[in-house]
Structure 1
C-alpha cells in the first residue's frame, strides 16, 4: 500500500453483523443442522481466517485478475471481508429462502466479473479468459473457505474434528457450494479427495503483483475507534493460518515476533472458549437457526398430540 494513502476506518460495530430474520419455523435451511459444518462456522473465532482465505483465493492468478479489475479492496478491504462473512453466515444458517436470495445476490455481482488476463504469470499466459462463475474458480473459492474455517476452528477455538467428522464436514459443505455455481461433477467426492485437490492447487498457485496489492490492503486494518496493534495481530494470525510458502510469498513470513503473537492469541482464545457464553462465542446467526428449528418442533407437537387422541 502506498504510504501516503490511508484506508477508510472500519467501525467496530461492523465486526458484529446482524443475523437474518427468524425465517420459516422448522425450515432447516440448505446446510444440515446439528452437524460439524454448522458447528465449525458458528464459531466467531473463524473470522480470524478471513484474510488468509482472501489471500489463498487471489494466489490463483485468474481470481487475482478478477479482483484487481472488478473489486476495489482499497476502498475498504475490511468492509468487503465482512460483507463476504455476512453472505456466508446467511447461507449457512438462514432458512432456505434467505440462503437462496443471498446466493442470487452474490451471483448477480459475480455475473459482471469476466475478462482476460492483462499480463502473464507462470501457467497463465496473458489473454487467458476468466469469469467469476466459472465452476472451477468457484470451487477454489469454496475450498479456501472450508479449509481456513476448519483450520482456524481447530487452532483458535479448540474444535478438533475426528476423521469421520471431517468427512461429514466436507459433505455438509456441498449444498453451500452448489448455491455458488459449483456442480456435483466438479466437487471432490470425499474429504480425502478434497484434501488432495487442495494440496494440488496449492502447488500451482502464483502470488502475482495483483495478489500482493490485494494483500497489502487486506492486511492493513484501521478501526474506529483505533485499536493499537490490530494490523500486527492480523498479519501474525494470517501468517500462522496460511501455508508457510504462501506466507513467505506475501511478505509475511513466520518471524519470531509473529509466532509469539499468534501463539499468545491462540492460547488465550482456546483457554477462554470453554467458559464463554454461547452468545459470545458463536455468531447470532447460529442461535436464530436453532430457534427457528425449535419453533417448528413446537408447531408440530400439538398436531402430534391431536393425532394420538
Structure 2
C-alpha cells in the first residue's frame, strides 16, 4: 500500500489503547448483553487486533466510505476514532443497562448528521445514491464486521475455535448490541448459518474506493507516543492476514512472505501466551466489572414510610 503522499498524523498515546472501564453500575443489573459466547469473545483484549480489519471492511462498502469521507475530520487521526468506538463497544457490551444505553445514545447523536448522496459513481453504486448512518442495511453491515472480525481474531490468534452451537450463541448474543446501534431485529439474519451466507454475499459486493483507501492509509500508518518501531508494519501484516483475500488485494495489502511470517509469529506468540496469562492481563477490565456487578445483590428497597 502506497502511503508516501499521505500527511503525517498526530501520534496516538499508548494509553488510548487501554480504555478504562465504566463505574460499577447498578448491582445485579446484567446489562444489555447477556453473559455468553458474545461477551466471552469480546472480553479478550486481543480482539483489538481486528479493529483495523473491521474499519477497512466497513469502508469497503461505498456508502459507508462516502459518509466517512464527507462527515469525518481525519486530521485528528482515524485511529483515535477507532479507539473511541472501542470504548463505546465495551461499555455497551459490559456496562449496566443505563451505561450501555448512554454510550449508544452518544454514538447515535454523532451519526445523526451523517447523511447525503454519493458524489461519484462506483461499480454498483450510481452517483447521487442517498446514504445515512442510520440506514438499517448499513448499520447491519457495520455490526457484521465487528462480529466477524472479533470471532476471526479469537479463532486465528487465540485458538478459540467456536463450534456450531457456540457460533449460534455468539451470533444471537450480539443481537442486543446490534439493536442498540440502530439495527432492527427484522434485518438481522436469524441464524449463524444465515449470517455466514449474508457475509459471503456482502463481501462479494464490496468496492474499495479512493475514500476507503484514504481511511486505510491513516489506520495502517498510525504512529504512537512514545514511538514503537514496527507497530504499523505489524498492523498491516495482521490486517492482511485477517481480511478476506479479495478485500486485502483491493486495498493493496499483498500477503508477502514477510507479512505472512509476521502474522504467523504473532499467532504463535498469542496462542502460546494466552493460557498462561491471568485474566486481569488478557481480558478487558470491563468484563471483570460486569461480573462483579452481576454477582452483587440489588439494593433492598427502602421501607415504606409509616
**TM-score using structure 1 length:** 0.94
In the TM superposition, residue 74 of structure 1 has moved relative to its aligned partner by 3.8
CA contact (8 A) 1:43 1:157 kept: no
Q: Within 2, Cα distance between the matches of 1:216 and 1:153?
A: 25
> Which residue of structure 2 lines up, in the alignment, with residue 73 of structure 1?
74
Deviation at 1:72, TM superposition (A): 2.2
Residue 156 to residue 4, structure 1, CA distance change in 2 (3 Å)? closer
| Mapped partners of 1:206, 1:22: distance in 2 | 43
Supply the RMSD in Å over aligned alpha carbons. 1.1
SS in 2 for 1:130: strand
2:94 is matched with which residue?
Answer: 93
Give me the whole-angstrom Cα distance separating, in 1, the residues matched to 2:189 and 2:7: 42
Structure 1 residue 221 displacement after superposition: 1.4
The one of 10, 17, 33 equivalent to 1:15 is 17
User: Where does residue 173 of structure 2 map in the other structure?
Assistant: 172
Q: Distance in 2 between matches of 1:74 and 1:247?
A: 25
Greater CA deviation, 284-293 or 73-82?
73-82
* Aligned 1:175-214 pairs, distance under 5 A: 175-214=176-215
2:147 is equivalent to residue 141 of structure 1: no
Q: Which runs of 5+ in 1 are unaligned?
A: 301-309
Note the alpha carbon deviations across 1:255-295, whole angstroms, 9 max, x for none.
11000000000100110000001011000000100010111
Cα distance in 1, alignment partners of residues 255 and 88 from structure 2: 31
Q: Specify the alignment match of 1:39 in structure 2.
A: 40
Shift, 1:73, TM fit? 3.0
Separation in 1 of the partners of 2:42 and 2:21? 14
Q: How far does residue 63 in structure 1 lie from its aligned partner after superposition?
A: 0.2
* d(CA) in 2 for partners of 1:12, 1:202: 32
1:87-166 counterparts in 2 under 5 A?
A: 87-166=88-167
Measure how far apart 1:2 and its partner are. 5.2
Give 1:154 shift. Answer: 1.1
| TM-fit CA distance, 1:192 | 0.4
What is aligned with 1:268?
269
Q: Secondary structure at the match of 1:115?
A: strand
State TM-score, norm by structure 2: 0.95
Residue 5 of structure 1 corresponds to: 7
**Is contact 1:221–1:231 with CA below 8 Å preserved after alignment?**
yes
CA distance in 2, matches of 1:118, 1:2: 26
Question: How far 1:5 sits from its partner (Å)?
Answer: 2.1
Deviation of the 1:162 alpha carbon: 1.1
Conserved 8 A contact 2:13-2:225: yes
Whole-Å separation in 1 of the counterparts to 2:111 and 2:291: 31
Describe the SS at the equivalent of 1:215. Answer: helix
Where structure 2 has 5 or more consecutive residues not aligned to the other structure, the ranges are 301-306
- The number of aligned residues is 298
Q: Could you give the per-residue CA deviations for residues 81-112 of structure 1, whole angstroms, max 9, x where no partner exists?
A: 10010010000000000000111111111110
Query: Does structure 2 retain, via aligned residues, the 8 Å contact 1:74–1:217?
Result: no
Aligned partner of residue 24 in structure 1, secondary structure: coil
Write the distance in 2 (CA, Å) between the matches of 1:194 and 1:88: 20
